[in-house]
Amino acid sequence: SQKIEQNSEALNIQEGKTATLTCNYTNYSPAYLQWYRQDPGRGPVFLLLIRENEKEKRKERLKVTFDTTLKQSLFHITASQPADSATYLCAQGSGGSYIPTFGRGTSLIVHP
């Protein structure tokens, strides 16, 4: 079955630096990947979606890439701020289904 793997260790970075989070998938290539933000005790909030035929997507300080050769998506937050501290979830979706499969998420801590 398809699996989504995210680094379970928290990522600690200094304010102003670029945070890069990794999402790896196994087996077949998903039709799309999504990134969500989740704060403690809250529901996930959708950030970006990238399809398998897209290399890169940007939204304000966020950038996501999709490398079907490496079976990997990278999620970047430039000029990070303490308010960006949260858990970031990667989710994969297959064609014909609107139901994503979520990874466990990576915690990002931005220090002032």
Partner 1 sequence: EPEVTQTPSHQVTQMGQEVILRCVPISNHLYFYWYRQILGQKVEFLVSFYNNEISEKSEIFDDQFSVERPDGSNFTLKIRSTKLEDSAMYFCASSGGSSGGETQYFGPGTRLLVL
Residue numbers at the binding site for partner 1 (CB under 8 A):
32, 34, 36, 41-46, 49, 89, 93, 97-105
Q: Identify whether the C-beta of residue 110 lies closer than 8 Å to the C-beta of residue 23.
A: no
Give 97's contacts (C-beta < 8 A, 6+ positions apart): none
If the CB atoms of residues 96 and 112 are measured against partner 1, the closer one turns out to be: 96
Work out how close the CB of 26 gets to partner 1 at its nearest, in angstroms, rounded to a whole number.
15
Work out how close the CB of 29 gets to partner 1 at its nearest, in angstroms, rounded to a whole number.
16
Q: Identify whether the C-beta of residue 19 lies closer than 8 Å to the C-beta of residue 106.
A: no
Q: What does the radius of gyration of the chain's CA atoms come to, in whole angstroms?
A: 13
Work out how close the CB of 43 gets to partner 1 at its nearest, in angstroms, rounded to a whole number.
3
